[in-house]
Amino acid sequence: SSRVVEIQSQMSERAVELLGLPEDRPCLLLDVGCGSGLSGDYISDEGHYWIGMDISPAMLDVAVEREVEGDLLLADVGHGIPFRPGMFDGCISISAVQWLCNADKKSHSPPKRLYRFFSTLYTALARGSRAVLQLYPENSEQLELITAQAMRAGFTGGMVVDYPNSTKAKKFFLCLFVGTSGTLPKGLGTECADGEETHQAKFTNERTRFRNAKGKSVKKSRDWILEKKERRRRQGKEVRADTKYTGRKRRPRF
Protein backbone atom coordinates (compact mmCIF):
# COMPACT_ATOMS: atom_id res chain seq x y z
CA SER A 1 0.00 0.00 0.00
CA SER A 2 1.06 3.63 -0.45
CA ARG A 3 1.54 4.04 3.31
CA VAL A 4 4.06 1.18 3.35
CA VAL A 5 5.86 2.70 0.36
CA GLU A 6 5.97 6.07 2.13
CA ILE A 7 7.44 4.57 5.33
CA GLN A 8 9.95 2.55 3.28
CA SER A 9 11.03 5.70 1.41
CA GLN A 10 11.44 7.66 4.65
CA MET A 11 13.58 4.89 6.12
CA SER A 12 15.71 4.70 2.96
CA GLU A 13 16.23 8.44 3.10
CA ARG A 14 17.23 8.25 6.75
CA ALA A 15 19.57 5.28 6.15
CA VAL A 16 21.37 7.11 3.33
CA GLU A 17 21.61 10.22 5.53
CA LEU A 18 23.21 8.13 8.30
CA LEU A 19 25.82 6.87 5.81
CA GLY A 20 27.29 10.39 5.77
CA LEU A 21 28.39 10.09 2.13
CA PRO A 22 30.76 12.64 0.56
CA GLU A 23 28.78 15.41 -1.18
CA ASP A 24 31.18 15.93 -4.05
CA ARG A 25 31.13 12.60 -5.88
CA PRO A 26 28.77 9.77 -6.79
CA CYS A 27 29.16 6.64 -4.66
CA LEU A 28 28.46 2.96 -5.24
CA LEU A 29 26.15 1.50 -2.59
CA LEU A 30 25.01 -2.02 -1.77
CA ASP A 31 21.32 -2.47 -0.93
CA VAL A 32 20.81 -5.68 1.07
CA GLY A 33 17.28 -7.06 0.72
CA CYS A 34 16.51 -4.50 -1.98
CA GLY A 35 13.09 -6.00 -2.82
CA SER A 36 11.35 -4.07 -5.58
CA GLY A 37 14.00 -1.33 -5.50
CA LEU A 38 12.24 1.44 -3.55
CA SER A 39 15.40 2.36 -1.63
CA GLY A 40 17.29 2.21 -4.90
CA ASP A 41 15.02 4.89 -6.38
CA TYR A 42 16.06 7.23 -3.61
CA ILE A 43 19.76 6.34 -4.02
CA SER A 44 19.49 7.07 -7.78
CA ASP A 45 17.68 10.36 -7.13
CA GLU A 46 20.59 11.40 -4.93
CA GLY A 47 22.94 10.79 -7.88
CA HIS A 48 24.55 7.60 -6.56
CA TYR A 49 24.83 4.13 -8.09
CA TRP A 50 23.73 0.87 -6.44
CA ILE A 51 23.63 -2.88 -6.61
CA GLY A 52 20.74 -4.67 -4.89
CA MET A 53 20.66 -8.19 -3.47
CA ASP A 54 17.47 -10.06 -2.62
CA ILE A 55 16.44 -13.65 -1.94
CA SER A 56 13.02 -13.26 -3.60
CA PRO A 57 12.81 -13.72 -7.40
CA ALA A 58 9.26 -12.28 -7.33
CA MET A 59 10.42 -9.02 -5.71
CA LEU A 60 13.33 -8.69 -8.15
CA ASP A 61 10.92 -9.24 -11.06
CA VAL A 62 8.96 -6.22 -9.81
CA ALA A 63 12.21 -4.23 -9.64
CA VAL A 64 13.02 -5.18 -13.26
CA GLU A 65 9.50 -4.22 -14.36
CA ARG A 66 9.87 -0.88 -12.62
CA GLU A 67 13.08 -0.32 -14.60
CA VAL A 68 15.16 0.57 -11.57
CA GLU A 69 18.57 2.05 -12.29
CA GLY A 70 20.59 -0.33 -10.12
CA ASP A 71 21.95 -3.78 -10.90
CA LEU A 72 20.17 -6.71 -9.27
CA LEU A 73 21.44 -9.96 -7.83
CA LEU A 74 19.35 -12.94 -6.70
CA ALA A 75 21.14 -14.25 -3.62
CA ASP A 76 20.83 -15.26 0.02
CA VAL A 77 23.00 -12.85 2.04
CA GLY A 78 23.34 -15.58 4.69
CA HIS A 79 25.76 -17.21 2.21
CA GLY A 80 27.86 -14.05 2.20
CA ILE A 81 28.37 -10.97 0.02
CA PRO A 82 30.06 -12.06 -3.24
CA PHE A 83 31.88 -8.87 -4.24
CA ARG A 84 35.53 -7.93 -4.40
CA PRO A 85 37.20 -6.23 -1.41
CA GLY A 86 36.59 -2.52 -0.86
CA MET A 87 34.14 -2.26 -3.73
CA PHE A 88 31.32 -0.35 -2.01
CA ASP A 89 31.28 3.16 -0.52
CA GLY A 90 28.45 2.16 1.78
CA CYS A 91 25.66 -0.34 2.40
CA ILE A 92 22.04 0.16 3.38
CA SER A 93 19.39 -2.38 4.25
CA ILE A 94 15.75 -1.72 5.03
CA SER A 95 13.84 -4.28 7.16
CA ALA A 96 15.84 -7.30 5.98
CA VAL A 97 18.65 -8.33 8.33
CA GLN A 98 16.35 -9.63 11.09
CA TRP A 99 15.40 -12.53 8.73
CA LEU A 100 18.88 -13.96 9.21
CA CYS A 101 17.88 -14.71 12.82
CA ASN A 102 15.41 -17.35 11.61
CA ALA A 103 16.58 -20.90 10.95
CA ASP A 104 14.47 -21.75 7.88
CA LYS A 105 16.30 -25.00 7.18
CA LYS A 106 17.70 -27.59 9.59
CA SER A 107 21.18 -26.73 8.35
CA HIS A 108 20.74 -23.02 9.13
CA SER A 109 22.54 -21.66 12.17
CA PRO A 110 21.55 -18.00 12.71
CA PRO A 111 24.84 -16.96 14.42
CA LYS A 112 26.87 -18.57 11.58
CA ARG A 113 24.74 -16.99 8.85
CA LEU A 114 24.93 -13.57 10.52
CA TYR A 115 28.70 -13.88 10.92
CA ARG A 116 29.12 -14.94 7.28
CA PHE A 117 27.01 -11.96 6.18
CA PHE A 118 28.84 -9.41 8.35
CA SER A 119 32.38 -10.69 7.73
CA THR A 120 31.97 -10.70 3.93
CA LEU A 121 30.16 -7.33 4.05
CA TYR A 122 33.08 -5.90 6.05
CA THR A 123 35.47 -7.01 3.32
CA ALA A 124 33.30 -5.67 0.46
CA LEU A 125 33.15 -2.17 2.01
CA ALA A 126 35.83 0.48 1.47
CA ARG A 127 37.83 1.49 4.57
CA GLY A 128 36.21 4.42 6.35
CA SER A 129 32.75 3.67 4.96
CA ARG A 130 29.57 2.69 6.80
CA ALA A 131 26.74 0.20 6.70
CA VAL A 132 23.34 1.35 7.96
CA LEU A 133 20.89 -1.50 8.50
CA GLN A 134 17.34 -0.65 9.53
CA LEU A 135 15.73 -3.61 11.23
CA TYR A 136 12.67 -4.75 13.13
CA PRO A 137 14.07 -6.89 15.95
CA GLU A 138 11.61 -9.29 17.60
CA ASN A 139 13.23 -8.86 21.01
CA SER A 140 16.39 -7.67 22.74
CA GLU A 141 18.06 -11.09 22.30
CA GLN A 142 17.81 -10.71 18.52
CA LEU A 143 19.33 -7.25 18.71
CA GLU A 144 22.19 -8.58 20.81
CA LEU A 145 22.75 -11.55 18.50
CA ILE A 146 22.91 -9.31 15.41
CA THR A 147 25.11 -6.67 17.04
CA ALA A 148 27.49 -9.26 18.53
CA GLN A 149 28.10 -10.92 15.14
CA ALA A 150 28.69 -7.53 13.50
CA MET A 151 31.31 -6.64 16.13
CA ARG A 152 32.90 -10.10 15.81
CA ALA A 153 33.30 -9.43 12.08
CA GLY A 154 35.32 -6.28 12.82
CA PHE A 155 32.72 -3.52 12.66
CA THR A 156 32.52 -0.78 15.27
CA GLY A 157 29.46 1.39 15.92
CA GLY A 158 26.09 0.46 17.35
CA MET A 159 22.38 1.07 17.38
CA VAL A 160 20.84 4.43 16.50
CA VAL A 161 17.22 4.58 17.67
CA ASP A 162 14.93 7.21 16.15
CA TYR A 163 11.93 8.37 18.22
CA PRO A 164 12.70 5.96 21.08
CA ASN A 165 9.70 7.17 23.11
CA SER A 166 7.11 6.47 20.43
CA THR A 167 5.76 2.96 19.90
CA LYS A 168 4.70 3.70 16.32
CA ALA A 169 7.56 5.84 15.03
CA LYS A 170 10.41 4.05 16.84
CA LYS A 171 13.02 2.82 14.35
CA PHE A 172 16.24 0.86 14.86
CA PHE A 173 19.26 1.55 12.64
CA LEU A 174 22.38 -0.53 13.17
CA CYS A 175 25.08 1.95 12.19
CA LEU A 176 28.41 0.24 11.50
CA PHE A 177 31.84 1.67 10.72
CA VAL A 178 34.58 0.01 8.69
CA GLY A 179 38.16 0.47 9.80
CA THR A 180 37.57 3.76 11.60
CA SER A 181 35.50 4.27 14.67
CA GLY A 182 33.33 7.28 13.91
CA THR A 183 31.02 8.87 16.42
CA LEU A 184 27.58 7.34 16.41
CA PRO A 185 24.96 9.72 14.96
CA LYS A 186 22.16 10.89 17.26
CA GLY A 187 18.71 9.35 16.93
CA LEU A 188 15.87 11.62 15.84
CA GLY A 189 13.40 12.63 18.52
CA THR A 190 15.90 12.12 21.33
CA GLU A 191 15.48 15.18 23.51
CA CYS A 192 18.43 17.47 23.93
CA ALA A 193 18.63 20.18 26.58
CA ASP A 194 17.55 23.13 24.43
CA GLY A 195 14.96 21.13 22.45
CA GLU A 196 16.76 22.01 19.23
CA GLU A 197 16.72 18.56 17.69
CA THR A 198 13.01 17.86 17.96
CA HIS A 199 12.45 21.27 16.39
CA GLN A 200 14.77 20.40 13.54
CA ALA A 201 13.04 17.09 12.76
CA LYS A 202 9.72 18.83 12.20
CA PHE A 203 10.73 20.84 9.16
CA THR A 204 12.42 18.20 7.04
CA ASN A 205 9.27 17.35 5.08
CA GLU A 206 8.51 20.84 3.85
CA ARG A 207 9.92 20.92 0.33
CA THR A 208 10.22 24.12 -1.63
CA ARG A 209 8.50 23.88 -4.96
CA PHE A 210 11.37 23.46 -7.42
CA ARG A 211 14.35 22.69 -5.24
CA ASN A 212 14.48 21.03 -1.89
CA ALA A 213 16.80 22.02 0.95
CA LYS A 214 19.83 20.25 -0.55
CA GLY A 215 19.41 22.13 -3.82
CA LYS A 216 18.07 19.07 -5.61
CA SER A 217 15.07 19.19 -7.90
CA VAL A 218 11.77 18.17 -6.39
CA LYS A 219 10.74 14.65 -7.30
CA LYS A 220 8.67 14.26 -10.52
CA SER A 221 9.21 17.90 -11.52
CA ARG A 222 10.38 18.63 -15.08
CA ASP A 223 13.94 19.38 -13.87
CA TRP A 224 14.02 16.14 -11.90
CA ILE A 225 12.87 14.12 -14.94
CA LEU A 226 15.42 15.79 -17.23
CA GLU A 227 18.21 15.12 -14.73
CA LYS A 228 17.14 11.49 -14.39
CA LYS A 229 17.06 11.04 -18.19
CA GLU A 230 20.49 12.63 -18.51
CA ARG A 231 21.85 10.24 -15.86
CA ARG A 232 20.42 7.26 -17.73
CA ARG A 233 22.01 8.46 -20.98
CA ARG A 234 25.37 8.62 -19.21
CA GLN A 235 24.84 5.00 -18.16
CA GLY A 236 24.40 4.14 -21.84
CA LYS A 237 20.68 3.38 -21.58
CA GLU A 238 18.15 4.14 -24.31
CA VAL A 239 16.16 7.22 -23.35
CA ARG A 240 13.50 9.12 -25.30
CA ALA A 241 14.46 12.54 -26.59
CA ASP A 242 13.44 15.54 -24.48
CA THR A 243 10.54 17.58 -25.86
CA LYS A 244 8.33 20.40 -24.64
CA TYR A 245 5.99 17.70 -23.34
CA THR A 246 8.58 16.12 -21.05
CA GLY A 247 7.40 16.33 -17.44
CA ARG A 248 4.05 17.86 -18.33
CA LYS A 249 1.09 16.84 -16.22
CA ARG A 250 -1.49 14.81 -18.13
CA ARG A 251 -5.10 15.91 -18.06
CA PRO A 252 -7.24 13.46 -16.11
CA ARG A 253 -9.29 11.19 -18.41
CA PHE A 254 -12.95 10.76 -17.65
Q: Within a domain: residue 208?
A: no
Please state whether beta strands 71-74 and 49-54 pair in parallel, antiparallel, or not at all (unpaired). parallel
Question: Within this chain, do residues 180 and 241 fall inside the same structural domain, yes or no?
Answer: no
Residue 211 belongs to a domain: no
Q: What does residue 160 show for φ and ψ, rounded to 5 degrees? A: -105, 125
**Domain-embedded: residue 29:** yes
pLDDT at 204: 34
Regions in the chain scoring below 70 on pLDDT: 105-107, 181, 191-216, 252-254
Q: Say if residue 147 is in the same domain as residue 248.
A: no
Domain-embedded: residue 158:
yes
Q: What integer pLDDT is reported at residue 130 of this predicted model? A: 96
Asked if residue 190 and residue 74 are part of one domain, the reply reads yes
Residue 143 resides in a domain? yes
Residue where a domain terminates, one of 203, 229, 245: 203
Give residue 216's pLDDT: 66
- Rounded to 10 deg, the angle between the 2-19 and 38-45 helix axes is 50
Show the beta-strand stretches assigned E in 9-155: 28-32, 49-54, 71-74, 88-94, 125-135
Question: Concatenated DSSP letters for 157-187?
Answer: EEEEEESTT-TTT-EEEEEEESSS--PPPPP
Both 166 and 132 in one domain: the answer is yes
pLDDT at residue number 211: 52
Q: What tens digit of pLDDT does each residue of 157-169 get?
A: 999 999 999 888 8
125 lies in which domain range?
2-203
CATH number of 131's domain: 3.40.50.150
- Shared domain check, 49 and 175: yes
Convert the pLDDT of each residue in 180-214 to its tens digit: 767 888 899 876 544 444 433 333 333 334 455 55
* Inside any domain, residue 210: no
pLDDT of 209 reads: 41
Pair 227, 149 in one domain: no
146 and 236 part of one domain: no
Do 74 and 122 belong together in one domain? Answer: yes
**What is the tally of structural domains in the chain?**
2
Radius of gyration for the alpha carbons in the chain, expressed in angstroms and rounded? 19
pLDDT score at 198 = 40
